[in-house]
Structure 1
Amino acid sequence: MNASTNQNVQDSLMLRLKQETLSEHDRMEVLMKQSGAFESKENYAQFTLSQYYFQKDVENLYLDEKVQRLIPDLDVRGRSIAAFKDLEDLGVSPQQQSVATQTVAYPESLGWIYVSEGSTLGAAFLFKEAQAKFGFSADFAARNLAAYPEGRAIVWKRFKQTLDEAGFNEEEKNQIIAGALQGFKRFGDLLEDLKNLK
């Protein structure tokens, strides 16, 4: 990497996030394969439960006024209600009430939201799997994997642009990256404990 490229990475929060969470992306792919989420409807239901709990964690962060000011389209981004309806379709009632982000503060919270927003891109593949294996759809049992009404790419691009143009200083960028790593760890923990989730 030359000095110019390195400077671009330092300037772009999104590029730093991508680079510094690369190993976590890879780990999530491994955990997803190991989860056997699409091997049976029961496994898929447990995976949907993990999605629901993670979305509840992330949407708890939407309550912060600083987050609301920075990301004005939060109302289109949350997926916990969709996941809850999917669980109803699958005959599963979530038992846990607590969220893992009670002590997460801004701007660290943006790292968690980054993990959630990034997952919507990978969800395109998962949505196709749910359709192919089980016949699920955007109206039944796979709502939380479906695309945003205006499309995944447009909403993701808007989020990336928002973070890159926010003018965070170095310390704030480091906090956001730390938040992203926490978010990945949380979702990884959920995937590893999939069979025990209630």
Structure 2
Amino acid sequence: MSPDIVTDPSRAKRLKAATHAAHDRLDKSIMRLEPFSSIDRYALFLAVQHGFHQDVDALYDDPALDGLLPDLKHRRRLDKIAQDLADLGRTAPAAGSKPVLAGDLPTALGWLYVAEGSNLGAAFLLKEAGKLGLSEDCGARHLAGSPEGRGLHWRIFTTALDAVPLTQEEEARVIAGARAAFMRVQFLADAVFIPSPSD
């Protein structure tokens, strides 16, 4: 094995530390927009979610990633978000950006870290959606936990993520990918909740 391979099993924890500021800033920004104050505001939140998951959706079909991350195809949530929008009588937005390229494996791992991590924290969001009369069966399908539980679902993912051998340069691209993913969600939130004066 090359000496510049990084095999530290705490990659997920390093990613958490490296993206903490961006993650915290995004969480606070989203909650300031009060996405659970009304059905209309929640529909805007779904549009943000749809935009991000549209960006990453192709990654769930990538053979190289599928060989590294267990049950990858069944982790995708784009269709559930589209169904949530349909439950509210809304149409899913058209694609607004180029999808993340599956060919760049380290960058893709960073984006998937953000996508999968968002499901871990969705229990709180599901409770908030419940106050609007929504549930895992109507309007908040994409916030539902997995059958084995959110914690185990996340640990299965992070264990596999930690096991991927990467060089120092590739490790940096994972972190850059995760940061870019958080920035993308922030961009979508700003665009959807705070439209330009011309809109």
1:145 is displaced (CA, Å) by 0.7
1:172 corresponds to 2:170: yes
Answer yes or no: is the 8 Å Cα contact 1:76–1:148 preserved in 2. no
TM-score (norm. length: structure 1)? 0.88
Misfit runs of 4+, over 6 Å: none
- C-alpha distance in 2 between matches for 1:68 and 1:158: 13
Q: Counting helix residues as a fraction of each chain, which structure ranks higher?
A: 1
1:63 is displaced (CA, Å) by 2.9
Residue 4 of structure 1: aligned partner: none
1:122 partner amino acid:
G
Give runs of aligned pairs for residues 121-140 of structure 1, distance below 5 A.
121-131=120-130, 133-140=131-138
Residue 112 of structure 1: aligned partner: 111
Of the three residues 165, 171, 194, the one matched with 2:192 is 194
- C-alpha distance in 1 between matches for 2:100 and 2:73: 20
- C-alpha distance in 2 between matches for 1:48 and 1:142: 9
* Seq. identity, %: 40
1:157 corresponds to 2:171: no
Answer yes or no: is the 8 Å Cα contact 2:50–2:93 preserved in 1. no
Answer yes or no: is the 8 Å Cα contact 1:68–1:74 preserved in 2. yes
- C-alpha distance in 1 between matches for 2:167 and 2:44: 40
Of the three residues 1, 17, 36, the one matched with 2:34 is 36
Gaps of 5+ in 1: 1-9
- C-alpha distance in 2 between matches for 1:193 and 1:98: 11
- C-alpha distance in 1 between matches for 2:85 and 2:34: 18
Identify the range of structure 1 (154-163 vs 91-100) with the bigger mean alpha-carbon deviation. Answer: 91-100
- C-alpha distance in 2 between matches for 1:169 and 1:24: 24
Give runs of aligned pairs for residues 26-105 of structure 1, distance below 5 A.
26-103=24-101, 105=104
1:102 is displaced (CA, Å) by 4.4
1:37-57 per-position Cα deviation (integer Å, ceiling 9, x unaligned): 011110000101111121121
1:111-155 per-position Cα deviation (integer Å, ceiling 9, x unaligned): 000001111121110000001x21111100000111112211111
TM-score (norm. length: structure 2)? 0.88
Equivalent pairs, count: 189
Answer yes or no: is the 8 Å Cα contact 1:127–1:142 preserved in 2. yes
Gaps of 5+ in 2: 1-7
Distance 1:85 1:165, change over 3 A: same
- C-alpha distance in 2 between matches for 1:100 and 1:140: 29
SS at match of 1:107: helix
2:170 partner amino acid:
E
1:15 corresponds to 2:13: yes
1:40-80 per-position Cα deviation (integer Å, ceiling 9, x unaligned): 11000010111112112111222322111111301221111
RMSD (Å) for aligned C-alpha atoms: 2.0
1:23 is displaced (CA, Å) by 0.2
